[in-house]
């Protein structure tokens, strides 16, 4: 019960009680917690105090309000080490997540425009664009550029639902030695935003990645557009993961 003599505010005490029930599993992910009216009645407090407690947990993203339905324990997001050198498909599979990839633009040689971040700026490179979905919902859009000489013939390989890192390893006998990534918030064109099922005004996590090989630096460059509302995209520091 709540202690009115404690220096800790009543709303904070109630928030701690709800949080403990979440952590213990009594209130599992997706569970609808008691209404503010019920909480006020059970703990002999006013509804504004109950509201303050749930507000606190909403701000901490432990709870989420759904208009007309109530307040629910936040659904647990799958964490994917998307930024390891293992590659995106492998990273999903390592977490037991079944992922499908749809080829938006088949691999073909193209002349890359002027882009100071792209190592193939004003040069030719193989280009591939693909969409990764989980449970038929879009999660990740990738634009990938590959060295035109090192990956000669890759345009003849069907990349549907295939790991690029595995193809590089098994078909070209290469693996990255290191890489560099930067992160920012960006937006997509209306057409490309449609692939991720968002509006063109939606802020998207954008990752730009360069992979270096013994044979050539910057042999693979990719731009990743991530739905962070569906997955927690993490990064492992150090090490190179094999498929």
Is pLDDT at 217 greater than 60 in this prediction? Answer: yes
Which span out of 10-19, 134-143, 161-170 was modeled with the highest average pLDDT? 10-19
Cα distance between residue 210 and residue 196, in whole Å:
23
Is pLDDT at 169 greater than 70 in this prediction? Answer: yes
Q: What is the pLDDT of residue 240?
A: 42
Tell me the sheet residues that pair with 71: 65
Judged by average pLDDT, the poorest of 32-41, 52-61, 186-195, 233-242 is: 233-242
Q: What is the pLDDT of residues 78-122, one digit of tens each?
A: 555 555 545 566 666 665 667 788 999 989 999 999 999 999 999
Residues of the chain within CATH 3.40.1410.10 domain(s) are: 78-233
Judged by average pLDDT, the poorest of 27-41, 71-85, 202-216 is: 71-85
Q: What is the pLDDT of residue 238?
A: 47
Report the share of the chain in percent with pLDDT over 90.
Answer: 51
Q: What is the mean pLDDT of the chain?
A: 85
Q: What is the pLDDT of residue 94?
A: 62
Is pLDDT at 21 greater than 80 in this prediction? Answer: yes
Using an 8 Å Cβ cutoff, are 224 and 144 in contact? no
Cα distance between residue 190 and residue 187, in whole Å:
9
Is pLDDT at 195 greater than 50 in this prediction? Answer: yes
- Please give the average per-residue pLDDT across 187-214, as a whole number: 91
Pairing state between β 78-80 and 231-233: parallel
Q: What is the pLDDT of residue 156?
A: 93
Q: What is the pLDDT of residue 88?
A: 62
Domain 10-73 has CATH 3.40.50.2000: no
Residues of the chain within CATH 1.10.10.10 domain(s) are: 10-73
Note the CATH number of domain 78-233: 3.40.1410.10
Q: What is the pLDDT of residue 108?
A: 95
Tell me the sheet residues that pair with 138: 133
Using an 8 Å Cβ cutoff, are 119 and 179 in contact? no
């Amino acid at each position: 019960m709540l202690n009115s003599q404690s220096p800790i505010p009543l709303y904070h005490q109630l928030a701690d009680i709800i949080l403990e029930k979440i952590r213990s599993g009594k209130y599992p992910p997706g569970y609808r917690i008691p209404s503010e009216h019920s909480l006020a009645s059970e703990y002999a407090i006013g509804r504004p105090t109950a509201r303050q407690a749930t507000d606190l947990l909403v701000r901490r993203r432990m709870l989420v309000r759904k208009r007309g339905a109530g307040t629910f324990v936040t659904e647990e997001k799958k964490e994917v080490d998307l930024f390891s050198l293992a590659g995106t498909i492998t990273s999903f599979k390592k977490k037991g997540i079944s992922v499908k990839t749809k080829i938006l633009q088949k691999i073909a040689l193209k002349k890359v425009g002027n882009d100071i971040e792209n190592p193939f700026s004003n040069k030719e490179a193989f280009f591939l664009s693909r969409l990764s979905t989980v449970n038929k919902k879009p999660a990740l859009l990738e634009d990938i550029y590959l060295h035109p000489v090192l990956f000669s013939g890759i345009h003849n390989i069907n990349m549907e639902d295939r790991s690029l890192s595995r193809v590089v390893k098994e078909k070209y006998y290469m693996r990255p030695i290191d890489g560099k990534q930067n992160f920012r918030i960006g937006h997509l064109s209306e057409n490309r935003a449609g692939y991720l099922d968002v509006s063109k005004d939606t802020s998207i996590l954008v990752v730009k990645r360069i992979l270096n090989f013994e044979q050539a630096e910057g042999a693979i460059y990719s731009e990743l557009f991530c739905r962070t509302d569906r997955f927690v995209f993490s990064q492992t520091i150090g090490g190179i993961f094999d498929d």
